[in-house]
Copies of this chain bind each other. A is one copy, B any other.
Amino acid sequence: MARVANALHVGIAGLGTVGASVVRVLATKAAELTRQCGQPIMVTAVSARDRSRDRGVDLGSAKWFEDPIELAKSADIDVFVELIGGDEGAARAAVTAALESGKHVVTANKALLAKHGVALAEIAEEKGVLLNYEAAVAGGIPVIKTMRESMAGNTVSRVFGILNGTCNYILTRMEAEGISFEECLKDAQRLGYAEADPTFDIEGNDTAHKLAILTSLAFGSRIAADEVYMEGISNITQADIRAAADLGYRIKLLGVAQQTDSGIEQRVHPTMVPTASVIAQVHGVTNAVAIETDILGELLLSGPGAGGNATASAVVGDIADIAKSQPGFQHGPVFGRPAKKLTPYKKAEIRSHAGGYFIRLTVHDRLGVFATLAKRMAENEISLESIVQQAHGEPNAKQKTVILVTHETTESLVRKAVDAVTNDGLLVDKAQVIRIERAE
Q: Which residues of B contact A333 (CB under 8 A)?
A: 35-36
In the assembled complex, A151 has its CB within 8 A of some CB on chain B: yes
A307 to B297, CA, bound (A): 10
Q: Which residues of B contact A304 (CB under 8 A)?
A: 296-299
A303 to B151, CA, bound (A): 13
B295 touches A25 (CB 8 A): yes
Main secondary structure of the interface of A (DSSP, over half): mixed
Q: What distance in Å separates the Cβ of A195 from its nearest Cβ neighbour in chain B? A: 22
Q: Which residues of B contact A359 (CB under 8 A)?
A: none
A326 touches B317 (CB 8 A): no
Contact pick for A141, options B299, B329, B331, B332, CB 8 Å: B299
Q: How many copies does the complex hold?
A: 2
B150 touches A317 (CB 8 A): yes
Q: Which residues of B contact A141 (CB under 8 A)?
A: 299
A393 to B302, CA, bound (A): 44
Interface residues of A in 259-285 (CB under 8 A from B): 276-278, 280-282
Q: What distance in Å separates the Cβ of A332 from its nearest Cβ neighbour in chain B? A: 4
A332 to B36, CA, bound (A): 7
In the assembled complex, A337 has its CB within 8 A of some CB on chain B: yes
Q: What distance in Å separates the Cβ of A142 from its nearest Cβ neighbour in chain B? A: 4
Q: Which residues of B contact A36 (CB under 8 A)?
A: 152, 332-333, 336-337
B312 touches A295 (CB 8 A): yes
A146 to B151, CA, bound (A): 13
Q: What distance in Å separates the Cβ of A96 from its nearest Cβ neighbour in chain B? A: 24
A309 touches B297 (CB 8 A): yes
A139 to B154, CA, bound (A): 15
A153 touches B33 (CB 8 A): yes
Q: What distance in Å separates the Cβ of A262 from its nearest Cβ neighbour in chain B? A: 22
**Chain A interface residue count: which class?**
35 or more
Q: What distance in Å separates the Cβ of A131 from its nearest Cβ neighbour in chain B? A: 15
A326 touches B321 (CB 8 A): no
Q: Which residues of B contact A281 (CB under 8 A)?
A: 276-278, 280-281
Interface residues of A in 307-353 (CB under 8 A from B): 307, 309-310, 312-314, 316-317, 319-321, 324-326, 328-333, 336-338, 341
In the assembled complex, A411 has its CB within 8 A of some CB on chain B: no
In the assembled complex, A383 has its CB within 8 A of some CB on chain B: no
A38 to B276, CA, bound (A): 42
Q: Which residues of B contact A317 (CB under 8 A)?
A: 149-153
Q: Which residues of B contact A337 (CB under 8 A)?
A: 32, 35-36
A145 touches B153 (CB 8 A): no
Interface residues of A in 58-100 (CB under 8 A from B): none
Among A142, A220, A307, chain B packs the most CB atoms within 10 A around the CB of A142
B309 touches A295 (CB 8 A): yes
Please, could you name 23 A-B residue pairs with CB atoms under 8 Å apart, sorted by A?
A: A25-B295, A26-B153, A29-B155, A32-B155, A33-B152, A33-B153, A36-B337, A37-B152, A38-B330, A140-B296, A142-B145, A145-B149, A149-B317, A151-B317, A152-B316, A153-B316, A278-B302, A296-B310, A297-B310, A299-B301, A299-B304, A301-B301, A329-B329
Name A's B-contacting residues (CB within 8 A).
21, 25-26, 29, 32-33, 35-38, 134, 140-142, 145-146, 149-155, 220, 276-278, 280-282, 293, 295-304, 307, 309-310, 312-314, 316-317, 319-321, 324-326, 328-333, 336-338, 341
Top-9 shortest CB links A-B: A152-B320, A142-B150, A299-B303, A153-B316, A296-B313, A324-B332, A140-B296, A150-B317, A295-B313
